[in-house]
Structure 1
Amino acid sequence: MDNDFDWAAMADMLELEGEAHSPYVRQALDELRDLAPRRVLDVGSGPGVAACRMAEVFPEAEVVAVDGSPELLARAERRAERLGVRLRTRVAEFPEGLADLPRADLVWSGQVVHHVGDQQGALDLLAGLLEPGGVLAIVEGGLPARSLPRDLGFGRPGLQTRLDVAMADRFNRMRAELPGTVSVVEDWAGMLRAAGLTEVRSRSFLVDHPAPLADGPRRAVRQMLERQRGMFAEVLDADDVATLDRLLDPEDPAGVDRRQDLFLLTAKTVHFGVKAKG
């Protein structure tokens, strides 16, 4: 898996983002209301936001949060204890450690596969973890998050669009530099079929936190902008960097901590496939 990210150091951001985006997980699991899994694997679980949601929805199942970071799994355990849900954790690198995992009736992997050079190969391994009749759910694609008005009242309008361009360029570089990277048409439904799955379908789910933002989503937006400020300071023009600095100034009435027009809007796409019985 891509080793340029210190996932443990990003724990606060990952947990805040997971909580802010969690409505889509509930909506996606509603698609599986007829499934009665005995075991659920959340592969690449991070701090366990989605895994704990699955433990709530499937209280009779053995839900296992799987991640390569013991620090993030410790967060998942604390979260499960706080929420009063049953959750197991297991340290395993992705995709190298997948072969040692038990089979499951539901395998979930949220925005993890794109960090692997051979995405089709990773999907093949994930599909191999399914029991007959089991479901693989992959979260990939969707729409970039929106949180800022086009015109902030200062700086050049359209900052969010320029941040999107910088993020897309960085993502493309990341993909190109991954070990063993394989160029593939990112038709996720087609890739699930190529992994041998049937009944493949894709659904997109809206995450809509309107203005004015509650504290949790507001902090998630702040952390996202702080990270983008750190990543893109050298590629954005000086005016955009100054605009970000003002947005991140906790004393500025027009900053993200105080402004009343801040919102959070995004869409997550989940691709489902079923392992045939018999």
Structure 2
Amino acid sequence: MTSNHHHGHGTGHGHHHNHGDVPAADFDWDALAAHLEHEADLRAGAVTEAARWLAGLHGDGAVRRVLDVGSGPGVIAGLLADVFPAAEVVAVDQSAALLDRARTRSGGRLGVRQADLPAEFDKLGEADLVWSGNAIHHLGDQQAALTSLAGVLRPGGLLAVAERGLAARYLPRDFGLGRPGFQARLDAAHEDGFSSMRAELPDATEEIEDWPAMLERAGLTPSGTRTFLVDHPAPLARPTREYLHTQLTRLHDQLAEHLLPEDRGTLEALLAKDAPTGILNRPDAFYLSAMTVHTARKA
């Protein structure tokens, strides 16, 4: 799934982002893949815990084939392969470059399937478990997407959708720059941007995002929702700080014109690479988020 919108609520793994008008040959796929890999690595513990929960939900039924739909560079698919070692695990994405990365980083352990979704859901083949992390919201008709994914499940199979959860927090409410509550105001601007992104998608359909009800309308029986904590306390390791710097740079590019001047100044101070106030150097920076996984079973 591709979109140039990056929201901070959630997730399974980094949905990736369209390169807009940049030709594919000129786009820095390595930089994008590295960013998505770090995003997924931050959530690896939560994803592994979720995958073990899914294994328990599946019960005694053998999981022979697992699809990670909207896989990006395949970090989550690799974690799923660890939890389901007897299964064929296939990373599904529309980016050949990211799938190459998935194939390489897994040493060939993962299968890969390039598909332009939603048009090519029929190319995926049957599966006992389908995982989709922060991908469905990049498709205009989310209900139709869930119905299509339900269609690839074998009888008794599970669909697991990681969407929303809680926005990441990485600074105290008052961290000594600007007016307290900066991240909450950033979130508010971000939510408006997310709604605009959704409205501009092909076949955009307004949907009340009650995921269990949507899964039921897709012909499945809801089988539980759980939320998994992503917690990296201060002080952060350098790679996590660099990940946050990249995230804040993207938010600056997307939202700067929508922020109050004071908040724009705070954001720019956080991006200053050599300043002690910058995210790369602050001792109080942390990373806290929550990933919510909704599941449903095919009869």
The question of 1:18 aligning with 2:40 is answered yes
Cα distance in 1 for partners of 2:41, 2:210 equals 28
Seq. identity, %: 51
Decide whether the 8 Å contact of 2:2 with 2:18 is kept in 1.
no
Cα distance in 2 for partners of 1:206, 1:55 equals 21
1:122 to 142, 145, 152: 145
The question of 1:230 aligning with 2:253 is answered yes
Equivalent residue, structure 1, for 2:102: 76
Q: TM-score w.r.t. structure 1 length? A: 0.93
Equivalent residue, structure 1, for 2:171: 148
Q: TM-score w.r.t. structure 2 length? A: 0.87
Decide whether the 8 Å contact of 2:236 with 2:286 is kept in 1.
yes
2:69 to 39, 43, 49: 43
Instruction: Report the CA distance between 1:222 and its aligned residue.
Output: 1.6
Report runs of 4+ in structure 1 exceeding 3 Å deviation. 1-5, 7-10
Code of the aligned partner of 2:111: R
Instruction: Report the CA distance between 1:13 and its aligned residue.
Output: 2.3
Instruction: Report the CA distance between 1:220 and its aligned residue.
Output: 2.0
Cα distance in 2 for partners of 1:175, 1:104 equals 28
Deviations, residues 206-237 of structure 1 (Å, cap 9, x unaligned) = 11111111233222222111111111111112
Instruction: Report the CA distance between 1:108 and its aligned residue.
Output: 0.5
The question of 1:256 aligning with 2:279 is answered yes
Cα distance in 2 for partners of 1:230, 1:17 equals 19
1:32 to 26, 38, 54: 54
Cα distance in 2 for partners of 1:17, 1:187 equals 26
Equivalent residue, structure 2, for 1:60: 86
Instruction: Report the CA distance between 1:75 and its aligned residue.
Output: 1.4
Distance 1:3 1:218, change over 3 A: closer
Deviations, residues 41-62 of structure 1 (Å, cap 9, x unaligned) = 0010011111010111112111
Cα distance in 1 for partners of 2:173, 2:272 equals 19
Code of the aligned partner of 1:173: S
Cα distance in 2 for partners of 1:78, 1:257 equals 30
The question of 1:216 aligning with 2:216 is answered no
Cα distance in 1 for partners of 2:189, 2:65 equals 40
Cα distance in 1 for partners of 2:239, 2:119 equals 34
Instruction: Report the CA distance between 1:3 and its aligned residue.
Output: 5.3
The two structures, once aligned, show a CA RMSD in angstroms of 1.6
- Number of residue pairs aligned between Structure 1 and Structure 2: 273
Report the secondary structure of 1:145's partner residue: strand
Decide whether the 8 Å contact of 2:92 with 2:114 is kept in 1.
yes
152-161 vs 255-264, which moves further: 152-161
Decide whether the 8 Å contact of 2:212 with 2:222 is kept in 1.
no
Cα distance in 2 for partners of 1:204, 1:98 equals 27
Cα distance in 1 for partners of 2:112, 2:83 equals 17
Code of the aligned partner of 1:166: A
Instruction: Report the CA distance between 1:199 and its aligned residue.
Output: 4.1
Code of the aligned partner of 1:32: L
Decide whether the 8 Å contact of 1:109 with 1:139 is kept in 2.
yes
Code of the aligned partner of 2:18: D
Report the secondary structure of 2:55's partner residue: coil
134-143 vs 147-156, which moves further: 147-156
Cα distance in 2 for partners of 1:87, 1:18 equals 16
Instruction: Report the CA distance between 1:10 and its aligned residue.
Output: 3.2
Deviations, residues 180-215 of structure 1 (Å, cap 9, x unaligned) = 111121110011111111143111111111111123
Cα distance in 2 for partners of 1:204, 1:215 equals 27
Cα distance in 2 for partners of 1:66, 1:96 equals 13
Code of the aligned partner of 1:154: L
The question of 1:184 aligning with 2:220 is answered no
Code of the aligned partner of 2:254: M
Cα distance in 2 for partners of 1:29, 1:203 equals 11
Which 5+ residue runs of structure 1 have no aligned equivalent? none
Cα distance in 2 for partners of 1:215, 1:26 equals 23
